[in-house]
Amino acid sequence: MVIKLLKLLEISNDKNQINMENTKIIVGLGSCGIAAGAKKVYDKIQSLQESSNIEFELHKTSCIGMCYREPLVEVIDSTGSYMYGEINEDKASEIIEEHILKNEPIKDYVVKADTFSTVDNTFIDDQVKITLRNCGYIDPENIEEYEARDGYRAIKKIAGHQVSRLDLIQTIIDSGLRGRGGGGFPTGLKWKFANNNKAKDKYIICNADEGDPGAFMDRSVLEGDPHSVLEGMIIGAYAIEATGGVIYCRAEYPLAIVRLQIAIEQARKKGYLGKNILGIHGFDFDIYIKEGAGAFVCGEETALIASIEGERGMPRKRPPFPAASGLWKQPTNINNVETLANIPWIVINGAEGYAKYGTDRSKGTKVFALAGKIARSGLAEVPMGMSIRDVIFKVGGGIQNNKKFKAVQMGGPSGGCIPEHLLDTIVDYDSVNATGAIMGSGGMVVMDEDTCMIDVAKFFLDFTEKESCGKCTFCRIGTKRMLEILIRITDGEGKEGDIEKLEELSYQIKDSSLCGLGQTAPNPVLTTIKYFRHEYEAHIHDKRCPAKACTKLLTYEIIPDKCTGCTICAVKCPTDAIDGARKEVHYIRQEDCIQCGTCVAKCKFDAIKVF
């Protein structure tokens, strides 16, 4: 294919230059795309462009959202837009040959197109993009592309119409925007509290350090549309009269940090940051980045402030709340990435434009990072009020490999597990909270019938136990004791009363912890006990894992009628626990079996049953 393409290009060199200035090729270069090989694809297309006489526009963008089909390459020509998925270097060459040179899109590679009725566009069509309005559409390192899509129009509107601070805050209140970091506190009210404090110095902080699966969303926004976050901070700074801004971003997001640094420098040169911004006398505001060490507890606002100040990231007692005494003991407003990215859109489109989406209690849209056993993993932004069922089965395409849905874990490590009979719960802060889960920053981990719910609880509690800052006794020691019990249960050593001990410890930790990490850490355990108690009982009383996931509770036996005596299982067994001569039925000695599953993986005749 490559040789054929080069021959075509050689022919073109002898003719007039092939002019395709109205054709664009856009490659998704977010962290997810780069990890899948998108940089190699971009370099391949660039090399073919440079070695030929073909003129087309080659652009970079960031995460497009369809992470399940990375690397993604979009071609826009006079006939429409074509999104190609799972593209490698060879396929990129084919796209140049067939689509660019011959004007024949390759249907087999297209994952989204308006012109092909055979392409399923459900993942995109059921979304409403406000937070992600620019992600996948602009080069995040080019401020002009952001400005071309209404970028910085909101702050210009405020400056040009001399919008008062109180009117601006009222607009945010009327929009119904609630903080997207987990608690769901009304954003406008938080701004109002900070505005009411007339201290000389105030600060606004962007919390970009949340450590749950939803933080993938935060990272993608910072990588794909950093200026929307900066503009949201600038507007917030105007509203509360802040003089300084900090983006607290974990160091594990190197691409996000690089693009934020570029965006900040560009904004300074354009006059969006600095002294007397856009001619507003006395409006002096600048932003710098503070790289965090990735501690989960620093998602809590007082621990985050302590870290910025150079102290160990540990929560502080409240009151006083940050709006009264925060960074350097000055009034401080803290919002997360998604919250801030919504602000410019609301200012431009009005409170009513935002409030028309959602429910009475939860307005606007919510971005979810879809992960786990879901067919379409990636980023999806849906209107509040959509059911969890529709998010998973319409937008997300359902469960992989036609397996049965079992549960969805929402809210990150401190979230809870929602079972099948609650799938029609709507995406709404209060409705999700009523299930025992939380909205969090948008993590949605889908589990199928092969998932052990006790193992899931153990996985998340292992994380929160390690991430506890240690300040509160119940969080520090209680989570450790809970984890020990869960390990015993999944190892087949569970005892009568373990479930009750887990519940008792959970409520003690929730009631006695200072910050949100400790108060919500038991949620995965409490929700799995509430909805999947029978699995705990099977592990403890019957020494059996219904999902067949806990290896120490499994028994392996050879089925005589299927065994051919090939000896592969015996040869591969790491403990020599399988006896039998060649061409004779084999036998597993249970006392020596370590339940590793190697025999099942190696048997070519499905002759080993697991129960």
Q: What is the pLDDT of residues 207-253, one digit of tens each?
A: 997 655 446 778 999 999 999 999 999 999 999 999 999 999 988 89
Does residue 200 surpass a pLDDT of 90? no
Does residue 482 surpass a pLDDT of 50? yes
Instruction: Summarize the confidence of residues 174-186 as an average pLDDT.
Output: 90
> Does 505 fall in a domain?
yes
Residue 484: pLDDT band with limits 50, 70, 90:
very high
- Of the chain, the percentage scoring pLDDT greater than 90 comes to 82
Return the pLDDT at 551.
87
Domain CATH code at residue 388: 3.10.20.600
Residue 148 structural domain: 143-354
> Does 130 fall in a domain?
no
> Does 114 fall in a domain?
yes
| Segment among 270-279, 302-311, 398-407, 511-520 with least mean pLDDT | 511-520
Are residue 313 and residue 243 in the same domain, yes or no?
Answer: yes
Residue 6: pLDDT band with limits 50, 70, 90:
very low
Return the pLDDT at 296.
86
Q: What is the pLDDT of residues 39-85, one digit of tens each?
A: 999 999 999 988 877 888 999 999 999 999 999 999 999 889 999 99
Are residue 330 and residue 440 in the same domain, yes or no?
Answer: no
Does residue 1 surpass a pLDDT of 80? no
Are residue 499 and residue 594 in the same domain, yes or no?
Answer: no
Query: What is the rounded CA–CA span in Å between residue 59 and residue 56?
Result: 10
Q: How many domains does the chain have?
A: 5
Residue 21: pLDDT band with limits 50, 70, 90:
low
> Does 124 fall in a domain?
no
Does residue 7 surpass a pLDDT of 60? no
DSSP string, 315-343: ---SSSPTTTS-GGGS-EEEEEHHHHHHH
Are residue 444 and residue 484 in the same domain, yes or no?
Answer: no
> Does 128 fall in a domain?
no
Looking at the chain, how many residues does it have?
611
Return the pLDDT at 516.
85
Q: What is the pLDDT of residues 537-565, one digit of tens each?
A: 999 999 999 999 998 899 999 999 999 99
Mean of the per-residue pLDDT values for the chain? 92
Are residue 582 and residue 565 in the same domain, yes or no?
Answer: yes
Return the pLDDT at 8.
47
Query: What is the rounded CA–CA span in Å between residue 446 and residue 150?
Result: 36
Return the pLDDT at 12.
45
Return the pLDDT at 522.
95
Are residue 459 and residue 580 in the same domain, yes or no?
Answer: no
Domain CATH code at residue 26: 3.40.30.10
Are residue 238 and residue 105 in the same domain, yes or no?
Answer: no
> Does 563 fall in a domain?
yes
Does residue 19 surpass a pLDDT of 70? no
Domain CATH code at residue 219: 3.40.50.11540
How, if at all, do strands 365-372 and 378-383 pair?
antiparallel
Cβ neighbors of 487 (< 8 A, separation 6 or more) are 458
Cβ–Cβ < 8 Å for 545, 553: yes
Are residue 534 and residue 579 in the same domain, yes or no?
Answer: no
> Does 403 fall in a domain?
yes
Query: What is the rounded CA–CA span in Å between residue 442 and residue 460?
Result: 16
Return the pLDDT at 212.
53
Query: What is the rounded CA–CA span in Å between residue 147 and residue 348?
Result: 13
Cβ neighbors of 87 (< 8 A, separation 6 or more) are 41, 71, 72, 73, 95, 109
Residue 9: pLDDT band with limits 50, 70, 90:
very low
Instruction: Summarize the confidence of residues 278-295 as an average pLDDT.
Output: 92
Return the pLDDT at 293.
85
Q: pTM of the prediction?
A: 0.91
Cβ neighbors of 611 (< 8 A, separation 6 or more) are 548, 554, 555, 557
Are residue 468 and residue 442 in the same domain, yes or no?
Answer: no
Query: What is the rounded CA–CA span in Å between residue 233 and residue 242?
Result: 10
Return the pLDDT at 14.
44
Does residue 18 surpass a pLDDT of 70? no
Return the pLDDT at 211.
55
DSSP string, 278-313: GG-TT--BEEEEEEE---GGGGSHHHHHHHHTTS--
Return the pLDDT at 210.
62
Domain CATH code at residue 584: 3.30.70.20
Return the pLDDT at 2.
46
Are residue 335 and residue 378 in the same domain, yes or no?
Answer: no
- Angle between helix axes 479-490 and 498-512 (nearest 10 degrees) is 160
Are residue 228 and residue 308 in the same domain, yes or no?
Answer: yes
Instruction: Summarize the confidence of residues 518-543 as an average pLDDT.
Output: 96
How, if at all, do strands 578-579 and 556-558 pair?
unpaired
